[in-house]
Amino acid sequence: MCGELCWTFESNFSMTSLLDILVVTAIFFLISLLLRGTQAVSLLRGVLILLFIVGVTAAVFPLVAFRWLLTNVVTAAVIAIPVIFQPELRRLLERLGRAGVWFGQHPPDPVERVKVIEDVVAASARLSERRQGALIVLERKTTLQEYIDTGILMDSAMSSQLLLTIFWPKTELHDGAVIVRDNKIASAACVLPLSSGRNLTDRKMGTRHRAGLGISEVSDCVCVVVSEETGQISVANAGRMIRRLDTARLKTILTALYGEERKDKLSWGNVVERVRRLIAPTANG
């Protein structure tokens, strides 16, 4: 009798523990899905590494004062973390309400991306000839929703004619950035963060170039900049900028950074090297 009761208790305890572990795992998995592609991922990773180092230090060494300080800091962190991650938490709840975690993500269509690249290259060439400034941001994995919300929402099909119309100097939408998401023009006249200035090689860069560098510093996007003063075309990515591009080189860079995703992904260094090889014969000739 006692053996049967003990077996039943252990069986129920095991099932309850297993269910408990599965629920906690599902919660962490859901949180990781919601945070994936946001700027909070790198910050959260740094916080976890710091907590791991601090926890190991407190467990190994008998530091009484340090443990007291750690206990009080954890209490304050419970209040500070929601404040720090406020934009991400707000976006997380919005995505959860739209059920976008499960149904909103889909792999990019390589054919559509080729068309986007061709339209951007064609529009950039015409804008460069006319010396009309432009700022075109191609969203990749990191969401740019907070910057999309600063502009005029469009959700329009991509075309070079529409880009030329937006950046015509006498239109209301020309002063700002166009953000492309899912092969569509998501928003126009968007406000972008300016670069901190640490990566600027040319101190004479205007606001448009600083904004292109700034958005590339806080996300993995690809940004095409057309100078209004000189008509030069530039591309910004990962806080770096390649300038004085013609249409052929612009298409090569966009194809490498924004085109069809391949197993042998090209790094920014490889793209720079490829562009140097393209430039080298011209320079020598």
Superfamily of domain 110-284: DNA integrity scanning protein, DisA, N-terminal domain (3.40.1700.10)
Of the listed ranges 139-148, 194-203, 248-257, the one predicted with least confidence = 194-203
The model's confidence at residue 43, banded by pLDDT at 50, 70 and 90, is low
Q: How many C-beta atoms lie closer than 10 Å to residue 280's C-beta?
A: 10
d(CA 19, CA 23): 6
Of the listed ranges 30-44, 47-61, 98-112, 156-170, the one predicted with least confidence = 98-112
What is the mean pLDDT of the segment spanning 168-188?
A: 92
Alpha helix positions (H), the chain? 2-35, 40-60, 64-84, 86-97, 100-103, 110-130, 145-148, 160-166, 207-218, 247-258, 268-284
207-237 pLDDT, tens per residue? 899 999 999 988 889 999 999 999 999 999 9
- Among 92, 144, 110, 135, which residue's Cα sits nearest to residue 255? 110
pLDDT recorded at residue 281: 46
The model's confidence at residue 89, banded by pLDDT at 50, 70 and 90, is low
d(CA 144, CA 149): 9
User: How many residues are there in the chain?
Assistant: 285
Q: How large a percentage of the chain has pLDDT more than 90?
A: 35
Write out the residue limits of the CATH 3.40.1700.10 domain(s) in the chain.
110-284
- Dihedral sign, Cα of residue 84, residue 45, residue 238, residue 167: negative
From residue 16, how far is each of 13, 19, 23, 24, 48 by CA, in Å? 5, 5, 11, 12, 28
What is the mean pLDDT of the segment spanning 178-200?
A: 85
Identify any residues that bridge with 240 across adjacent strands, giving them in sequence order: 237
Q: How big is the CA angle at 54 (ends 50 and 59), to the nearest 5 degrees?
A: 150
Identify any residues that bridge with 135 across adjacent strands, giving them in sequence order: 225
Tokens representing 15 are 């099932």
pLDDT at 102 over 60: no
- Dihedral sign, Cα of residue 10, residue 11, residue 13, residue 17: positive
d(CA 235, CA 223): 6
Amino acid at 88: E
pLDDT recorded at residue 119: 96
Locus of tokens 């510093």: 217
